[in-house]
Amino acid sequence: MVTTDGSTGSPAWRHAARTDLLAFARRSERPEGGFVWLDDAGEPDPDKNLELWINARMTYVFALAHLSGASDTLRLAEHGVRSLQTLFHDDEHGGWYDEVDVDGHTDDTDKRCYGHAHVLLAAATAVAAGAEGAQALLDEATDLHTHHFWEHESGRCVESLSRDWTQVDPYRGANSNMHTVEAYLVASDVTGDPVWHERALSICERIIGIHARSHGWRIPEHYDHDWTPVPEYNVESPADPFRPYGATPGHAFEWSRLLVQLAASLDEPRPWILEAAEALFAQAVEDTAEDDTPGLAYTTDWHGEPVVRERFHWVMAEAVLAAEALNTYTDSALYAGLASRWWSEIAEHFVDDATGSWHHELGPSMARSTRTWRGKPDAYHAFNALTLPDLPLSPSAALTIGGDIA
């Protein structure tokens, strides 16, 4: 439970909330290896296998927690590194399976950019934290991204490949490329290799600078093999957790934050980067921030009308992160005001005082919902929201700060 006397959203409040969240996240550790999917009470969900994206994200969370001064988190980051190197690893062809059972068996052998981007982010952050085994994990992750996921012709990443890397799925997605941008920015700073910054910029130039700009700053999420947008993709399944129909304002906030971080990492940032960050943010606010209703809708159609009105914790986390980043970069009262509003809504509606975690999904009335998500499997978005505002915008500076950031 958050017990600090600090005002909601202040550094002291975030520190207390972060401490509570980490206490909850520690419960995901599986002694035999990996991190489990937790239910609302923080108990393992017996119906869920081990998921690559969760395990990579939890490894990242604990590595970043160690860098920010939290105790007993380097051990958990190293637990995650070992799990990625063993349970999830394809020893024959390389890379990582998306989902395995407790014995490491899987029926789904495709290699997906989404999960591999999170492995790269986790590995780079774990290297910065000094985690044992992390360098070997990072070496493999960077090699696989270079030789399999990175598509030189398009300047972006493909979505998925067969287990032996010979067959490429024709679907292309913005979501996996967005998380790849985050991973590439950190990988560039940790390795010192500028190619990762160059590739992050290339992805942003094309998906945001071209496609989002030409669609009124609503980001096309789904594309065919030659990167032609497919705007009606999943129209019959609008609440899909990873490939929903329409525009996803939470991703606009996330891209906005990443663009600010990209600009902060460049000696001479190109003017369009901040222009795009502010435009994405403004359109997402216009489409989702209602004066009399807390929270932000999951998806909208191409005219900005909400389609899935459920309020997800990760959308709030990315909205407040983008507002904090833009406020730091521009010193604008607009962003400070929205950050204050969203922190208040997070504290009132999303933080679960009984467990320290955040409710993952609420309905438009702010009652708990399970339309898309059940349980509390993921601390990544909430931990970022509670941590990154207190770190420098540049990933390299953030990853070398050390010490308690409260």
Catalytic residue IDs: 251, 381
Residue-wise DSSP of 89-100: B-TTT-SB-SEE
Residue 347 and residue 386 in contact, taking contact as beta carbons nearer than 8 Å: no
In angstroms, the CA 326 to CA 109 distance is: 40
Helix (H) or strand (E) holding 187, with range, is: helix 174-191
Token code pair at residue 183: 């991973």
In angstroms, the CA 377 to CA 28 distance is: 8
Whole-Å CA distances, 49 to 53, 59, 61:
12, 17, 20
Q: How far is CA 58 from the centre of its chain?
A: 11
Token code pair at residue 41: 């009470």
Pairing of strands 222-223, 297-300: unpaired
Which residues, at least 6 apart from 288, have a Cβ–Cβ distance to it below 8 Å? Answer: 249, 296, 297, 300, 306, 315
In angstroms, the CA 17 to CA 386 distance is: 7
Nearest to 119 by CA among 70, 37, 186: 186
